[in-house]
């Protein structure tokens, strides 16, 4: 067995390479030539840089490969649909066509829970209708449809994973909002903020449960031609999550507001109608300057960017509670059934690696 891991230099890909390497699998790690694949090399993986949008590169990547774990993607909610589509659809079409010529044993595809869009039922199971809303999720839905069609034609078993919001060591994008911003507020002396009572249901997923689930489904007939949600077992309400997040950075709740779904979703819809520079342009400029000052003062690693993108507003529409019982039904045991332990460990990792300031001011 030889496994090709695409996007191996990214947040999730590096954890998958580590998982497989520890299990003793023969791994070929690939990412763009500009990406750092030194960690993969140190783990004993064969490192082959390549561009999945170039047919010659893709052809060379698949020599001798029996399984593909495809997690390469453009994930940035600030990018236009056309840019997302080029990587999240065009690249996967090239990869699938080449896979068909090599007679692969299994194709494991990392999609996103965003393909469901705003939930019409809770919890969201794998048979929930697909109504993707943001540019990233729309492009991933197009990629899902293409890979199903192509691999069915080639007779290659497909396993599709749909993770909810992912956290864990080395995350940069989501962490820019969830970690950098509250850390920055605490740094500048903010130690009390309002929260909500109750609110929408949501689940996260630790990156180690993504790598663990993929490893569990590798060469597993029970996972052939199936799709699986990747999420925690126990959801949190929005207010509970906000309270817990505050506590990680030493911020107390000064009072709790009633959670009005009508008002919050109405506000989100109104913001989504605005031109992007109007809605978040000035805010992100201010956040960037404030964060850069902290990075310079504390000598932090320049890994995170404090920002909010307009398409974050889609997360305020409907519940985001994905049900993972289908995956557990074939025997997978979650490493992090809730986010409570995982978030504590993750924030401590960020502080230890000097991605976040410690100790905080104020």
Q: What is the pLDDT of residue 295?
A: 95
Q: Which of 322, 328, 172 is nearest to 236 (CA)?
A: 322
Instruction: Give the helix ranges, DSSP H, for 155-249.
Output: 173-175, 181-187, 207-217, 238-248
* Mean pLDDT within 305-309: 82
**Choice between 3 and 176, residue whose per-residue pLDDT is larger:** 3
Q: What is the pLDDT of residue 250?
A: 92
Record the tokens describing residue 359, joined without a space.
Answer: 């100790």
User: Would you say residue 360 has pLDDT above 80?
Assistant: no
Per-residue pLDDT tens over the stretch 40-72:
999 999 999 999 999 989 988 999 999 999 998
Buried b (16+ CB within 10 A) or exposed e, 341-351: ebbeebbeebb
Per-residue pLDDT tens over the stretch 269-302:
888 787 766 667 888 889 999 999 999 999 999 9
CATH 3.40.50.300 fits 2-166+204-230, yes or no: no
Per-residue pLDDT tens over the stretch 96-130:
999 999 889 999 999 999 999 888 889 999 999 99
Asked if 35 and 57 count as a contact pair (C-beta separation under 8 A), the reply is no
Q: Which of 139, 48, 138 is nearest to 93 (CA)?
A: 139
Answering whether pTM is above 0.95, one says no
What is the location of CATH 3.40.50.720 in the chain? Answer: 2-166+204-230
Q: What is the pLDDT of residue 267?
A: 86
Confidence band for 78, pLDDT divided at 50, 70 and 90: low
């Amino acid at each position: 067995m030889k496994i090709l891991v695409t996007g191996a230099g990214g947040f999730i890909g590096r954890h998958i390479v580590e998982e497989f390497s520890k299990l003793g699998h023969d791994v070929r790690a690939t990412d763009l030539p500009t990406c750092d694949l030194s960690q993969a090399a140190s783990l004993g993986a064969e490192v082959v840089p390549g561009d999945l949008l170039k047919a010659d590169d893709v052809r060379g990547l698949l020599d001798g490969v029996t399984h593909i774990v495809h997690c390469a993607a453009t994930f940035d909610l600030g990018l236009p649909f056309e840019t997302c589509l080029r990587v999240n659809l065009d690249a996967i079409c090239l990869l699938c066509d080449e896979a068909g010529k090599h007679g692969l044993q299994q194709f494991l595809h990392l999609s996103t829970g965003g393909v469901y869009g705003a939930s019409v039922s809770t919890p969201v199971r794998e048979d929930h209708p697909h109504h993707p809303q943001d540019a990233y999720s729309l492009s991933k839905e197009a990629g899902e449809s293409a890979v199903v069609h192509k691999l069915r034609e080639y007779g290659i078993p497909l396993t599709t994973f749909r993770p909810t919001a992912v956290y864990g060591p080395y995350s940069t994008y989501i962490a820019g909002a969830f970690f950098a911003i509250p850390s920055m507020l605490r740094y500048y002396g903010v130690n009390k903020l309002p929260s909500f009572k109750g609110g929408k249901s949501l689940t996260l997923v630790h990156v180690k449960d993504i790598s663990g689930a993929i490893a569990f489904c590798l060469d597993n007939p029970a996972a052939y031609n199936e799709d699986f949600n990747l999420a925690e077992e126990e959801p949190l309400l929005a207010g509970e999550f906000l309270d817990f997040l505050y506590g990680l950075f030493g911020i107390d709740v000064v009072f709790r507001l009633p959670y009005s779904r009508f008002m919050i979703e109405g506000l989100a819809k109104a913001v989504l109608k605005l031109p992007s520079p109007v809605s978040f342009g000035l805010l992100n400029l201010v956040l960037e300057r404030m964060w850069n000052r902290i990075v310079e003062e504390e000598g932090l690693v320049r890994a995170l960017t404090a920002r909010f993108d307009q398409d974050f507003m889609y997360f305020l529409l409907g519940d985001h509670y994905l049900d993972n019982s289908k995956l557990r039904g074939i025997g997978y045991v979650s490493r992090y059934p809730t986010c409570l332990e995982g978030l504590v460990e993750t924030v401590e990792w960020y502080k230890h690696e000097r991605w976040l300031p410690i100790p905080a001011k104020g």
